Homo-oligomer: A and B are copies of this chain.
């Protein structure tokens, strides 16, 4: 008899409804760049991050709590907000002790969906906090849904790579009856020696988009494991570090 918890991968927000969130930990994955930035800001001492699903709400909450408003639409700082979605905008000497109010095209929207669908627990995952995510999932032994934020619902390479990295590490502790998960591992195994090179060689759409904005440094950082190894966990409207 197999008593292991289950693990599924949802490759797009448009597929999230296929899975039972109410009984699962949902890992929000938006590698380029929302969840990488969330890990980084918290690692650098941000008090908390309030993810919101619209620019209007971002501005509103920013005013109420005197927070840093940040967010992007289509890869650029959204009108009315002050900061963007690059992890390099949030070094310790700027973000320590502050609250970041963040809205992004895909990642924060998916988080809101997971919340609406009653996820048991929501954490965020990215290469910079890969180990923290894996350790938490192995420790708590609950069902897991890896939720890729994708790009406007279209499956993307980097989120699938991260899902594959997580599954490669923790799969022996879970029952994985999910082709999307197995496919993610195959892709990751093929790519793991040089994730940046893999994205470039295989014409990842997000690679081209961000390179077009001159953001190679962001891409490289967001594909490097454990540069900001904390576990952001959602609690009453905020993402906070859960101590490991």
Q: Which residues of A contact B (CB under 8 A)?
A: 11-12, 14-15, 18, 151-157, 160, 176-180, 182-183, 185-187, 190, 202-206
Question: Which residues of chain B are near A156, meaning CB under 8 Å?
Answer: 179
- From B14, B190, B204, contact of A179 by CB (8 A): B204
Q: How many copies does the complex hold?
A: 2
Question: Complex formed: what's the CA distance from A179 to B201 in Å?
Answer: 12
Question: Which residues of chain B are near A204, meaning CB under 8 Å?
Answer: 179, 182
- The answer to whether B182 and A202 have CB atoms under 8 Å apart is yes
- From B15, B160, B180, contact of A14 by CB (8 A): B15
What is the CB-to-nearest-CB distance from A203 to chain B, in angstroms, rounded to a whole number? 5
- From B18, B185, B187, B206, contact of A154 by CB (8 A): B18
Question: Which residues of chain B are near A18, meaning CB under 8 Å?
Answer: 14, 152-154
- The answer to whether A155 and B180 have CB atoms under 8 Å apart is yes
